[in-house]
Amino acid sequence: MADVHDLLSRNAREHGEGQKISARALLEKLMPVLNGTGDHRHLHLDVEDTILPSRIGTALAMITNELVNNAIKHGAGDIEVTFHTKKNEAEIEAVLTVRDHGTGFPIGFVPAMYDDTGIELVQSLAGWTLRGRVRYENAPDGGACVTVTFNPNT
């Protein structure tokens, strides 16, 4: 969270605007910290830059941190983090995806049934702060894939 604060403070000094943050700058700053925690596993980042309200950026950083740490802890292989926006009818939709190449989620996985504060944090931030939704699924070629979809302007 110190990285988020640094980016907001720098943005306020340089542009007089501390209430907005670049998704690319935020995630690029977060990745080296996360990359150091995954014993010989690599993080691949593909981010479309989007300017976000600071509270949305903060939630995005916390969710990304939690999902990558879960992928490191429970998954295998490299971890892919993507963030992009798309036009969906009359509004813009932001999509964060974190994917590993391990065994994936167990059959019948239901997030609410797991006593895990990390999943609760992701669910809470995605629902309450981002007003979005989270989808947990297994990739066709193996591995867990978590997708968070939300309106970046909420």
Kindly list the structural domains of the chain, giving each domain's residue range(s) and its CATH number in brackets, ordered by start.
2-150 (3.30.565.10)
Report the distance separating Cα 10 and Cα 85, nearest Å: 25
Among 34-38, 102-106, 129-133, the range scoring the smallest mean pLDDT is 34-38
Q: How many CB atoms lie within 10 A of CB 128?
A: 10
Let me know: does 63 contact 96? Beta carbons within 8 Å. yes
DSSP characters over 66-102? HHHHHHHHH--S-EEEEEEEEEETTEEEEEEEEE--S
- Is the pLDDT reported for residue 15 higher than 90? no
Span 44-77, pLDDT tens digits: 999 999 999 988 998 999 999 999 999 999 999 9
Of the pLDDT bands very low, low, confident and very high (cuts 50, 70, 90), residue 17 is low
Tokens of 117: 């504060």
- Is the pLDDT reported for residue 12 higher than 70? no
Which has more pLDDT, 80 or 39? 80
